[in-house]
Amino acid sequence: MRKHFLLILAVAAVAVSCKSTSGLSDESAAMRRDLAQARGQVDNLNQQLAEKDQRINQLLNEKNQVGRDLTAAQSKLQEVTEQLQETSDDYGVWFRVQIGAYEGRRIDKSLETTDQMSLEERDELQKIALGRFRNYDDAKRLQEHLKSVGLSDAWIVSYRDGERVPIEEVRN
């Protein structure tokens, strides 16, 4: 009986051993499937990452182009602004030298010239001004010259965007 018991024990051990080898084989196959699936997911994520990197590079290129376009537009705006400042009374700050303000007899508006002489109706007075300067010092030189040739009533007036404003507003 002891031999049978040992034999049964040996058969049971072999059976358990076979069963655990079979279980390991099933477990190993499952692990291989999981590993293959994980590798597929990693490949998929790497592909998504590559696509995102490509999109980031594309967006950076677009940003750089927009930056270049903006710089060009700002340069053009500056150029147009400078042209407007040079030619338009309705833009920026101007200085003129006023030589008179008359209530009674008035100069006919048809005699007004473009840049050199302006006739302005304000406070029931006709005001006559000469020159058009962006720089106060240039207006000051004209004022001093006019005074030196006998026009004692010559003073500097200022305009901002086509509207007459106190000179203190634009000099500060």
Q: Does the model's pTM come out above 0.95?
A: no
Cα separations in angstroms, 66 against 52, 53, 73, 81, 93: 21, 20, 10, 22, 33
- DSSP state letter for 111: G
Quick one: pLDDT at residue 9? 53
The better pLDDT of the pair 64, 100 is held by: 64
Place 1 in a pLDDT band, splitting at 50, 70 and 90.
low
Place 82 in a pLDDT band, splitting at 50, 70 and 90.
confident
- Structural domain boundaries of the chain? 1-87, 93-171
Report the pLDDT averaged over residues 81-94. Answer: 76
Task: Rank 29-33, 116-120, 151-155 by mean pLDDT and report only the highest.
Answer: 151-155
CATH class of 93-171: alpha beta
- The answer to whether residue 19 scores a pLDDT higher than 80 is no
Q: In the chain, what are the helix, strand and coil shares in percent, each to the nearest 5?
A: 60, 20, 20
Burial (0-12, 13-18, 19+ Cβ within 10 Å), 22: exposed
The better pLDDT of the pair 150, 109 is held by: 150
Report the pLDDT averaged over residues 103-131. Answer: 77
